[in-house]
Amino acid sequence: MTRKVKISGLGLAGVVLLACWMLFTDSGRRMQFFIGGAMINLGYGMQDHLASYDFEHEHAISPGDVWKEMQSQNEVASAVRKWFPRTARHPLVAMVVCMDARLDTNELTGDSRHYYYIIRTAGSVLSEREEEMLELAVANGVELILLSTHSDCAAEKVASTPDMRQRYPALARAVDEREARIKEFLARPAVASKIAAGALDVKLVNIDTMTEKILPR
Ligand SMILES: [Zn+2]
C-alpha cells in the first residue's frame, strides 16, 4: 500500500515537473510548438484520405452539392472556433503566395498561429493594390516580406504557352510584369527608406510545391 502511494506520488511529481518545464522554459515551449505541429499533421493524416468528404469528382457532384458540403463543414468548424477562440497576433511577416491549393501558408513554417499577413494571387503577381496593401502592412509593423514563386505554377505555364496566352491574356501579362512590379514596390519611398534603415527585409523566394521548402531565388 505504502509502495503504491509512493509510486503515484513520484508520478505526480514527474507530471508537475514536466508541466513546469513545458510552460516555463525555452526548450519546453519549443517542444510545445513541435508537438502542436505534430498534432496538426496527425489531423491532416486523418482527413486527407477521406474521399467522402472532399470535392473530388468520384461521383456526379454539382456546384450546389459542393456548396452544401462546404457550408456543413463550416458549420462545425465555426462552432469549434466560437468555443476555442484563437489569440490575435500582430504579424511581423507578410507573404505573397500563389493561389495554388497545394501551398498551405500555415505549413510553410509549421506555424498555425496566423502570424503572417498573406496575399494570395494567381502566379504571386502584384498590382498597385497589392503594393499598397504591403506598404500598409509595413506601416503596421511588418519587418520581413517574402515575395514567392513556386514550382509547377499554372499561371507561369499560361504565360509561357502561346495558345494559353491567347485565352488568358491578362494573367499572362501580369506574370510578365511580375519582376517589374517587385522593383516598383521596392522603390516606393516608404518601403525603400525602411530597407535602407535596416527596419525591413524583402526576400525573393521560390517554394518547392511538393515539400513546401522555401528556397532562395
Ligand atoms: Zn502558381
Domain containing 195 — which CATH number?
3.40.1050.10
Average pLDDT, rounded, for the chain: 90
pLDDT band at 175 (very low <50, low <70, confident <90, very high): very high
Q: Give the 3-state secondary structure of residue 97.
A: strand
Q: Is the domain of 138 the same as that of 183?
A: yes
Query: What pLDDT score does 55 carry?
Result: 59
Set of cell numbers at residue 13: 511529481
Q: Is the domain of 68 the same as that of 4?
A: no
pLDDT band at 54 (very low <50, low <70, confident <90, very high): low
**More confident site: 18 or 198:** 198
- CA 152–ligand 1 middle distance (angstroms): 7
pLDDT band at 67 (very low <50, low <70, confident <90, very high): confident
Query: What pLDDT score does 209 carry?
Result: 97
Residue 72 and residue 75: Cα distance in Å, rounded? Answer: 5
**More confident site: 17 or 208:** 208
Query: What pLDDT score does 138 carry?
Result: 97
Domain-terminating residue out of 62, 85, 108: 85
Query: What pLDDT score does 117 carry?
Result: 93
Angle formed at CA 87 by CA 14 and CA 200, multiple of 5 degrees: 110
Q: Is the domain of 98 the same as that of 195?
A: yes
Q: Is the domain of 139 the same as that of 175?
A: yes
Whole-model pTM?
Answer: 0.82
* Residues with C-beta atoms within 5 A of ion ligand 1: 98, 100, 153, 155
Query: What pLDDT score does 159 carry?
Result: 97
Q: Is the dihedral of CA 65, 67, 70, 71 positive or negative?
A: negative
Quote the domain boundaries for residue 170: 93-216
Average pLDDT (59-87) is 87
Query: What pLDDT score does 47 carry?
Result: 84
Residue 62 and residue 34: Cα distance in Å, rounded? Answer: 40
Q: Is the domain of 139 the same as that of 168?
A: yes
- CA 179–ligand 1 middle distance (angstroms): 15
Q: What stretch of H or E contains 140?
A: none
Q: What are 79-133's pLDDT values in tens digits? A: 999 999 888 888 999 999 999 999 999 888 888 887 899 999 999 999 999 999 9
Number of domains in the chain: 3
Q: Is the domain of 145 the same as that of 182?
A: yes
- CA 125–ligand 1 middle distance (angstroms): 10
Cβ contact 158:165 at 8 Å: yes
Q: Is the domain of 122 the same as that of 207?
A: yes
Cβ contact 98:122 at 8 Å: yes
Evaluate if residue 191 carries a pLDDT over 60: yes
- CA 19–ligand 1 middle distance (angstroms): 43
Q: Is the domain of 18 the same as that of 121?
A: no
116-121 and 201-207 strand pairing: unpaired
Average pLDDT (152-178) is 98
- CA 116–ligand 1 middle distance (angstroms): 19
Q: Is the domain of 125 the same as that of 196?
A: yes
Q: Is the domain of 74 the same as that of 139?
A: no
Residue 214 and residue 207: Cα distance in Å, rounded? Answer: 5
How far is the CA of 150 from the CAs of 74, 127, 160, 204, in angstroms? Answer: 29, 18, 15, 11
pLDDT band at 59 (very low <50, low <70, confident <90, very high): low
Tell me the percentage of the chain whose pLDDT exceeds 90: 59
Q: Is the domain of 65 the same as that of 97?
A: no
Q: What is the CA radius of gyration of the chain?
A: 23
Average pLDDT (57-75) is 81
- CA 137–ligand 1 middle distance (angstroms): 23
Residue 94 and residue 131: Cα distance in Å, rounded? Answer: 12
Domain-terminating residue out of 61, 85, 109: 85
Q: Is the domain of 13 the same as that of 41?
A: yes
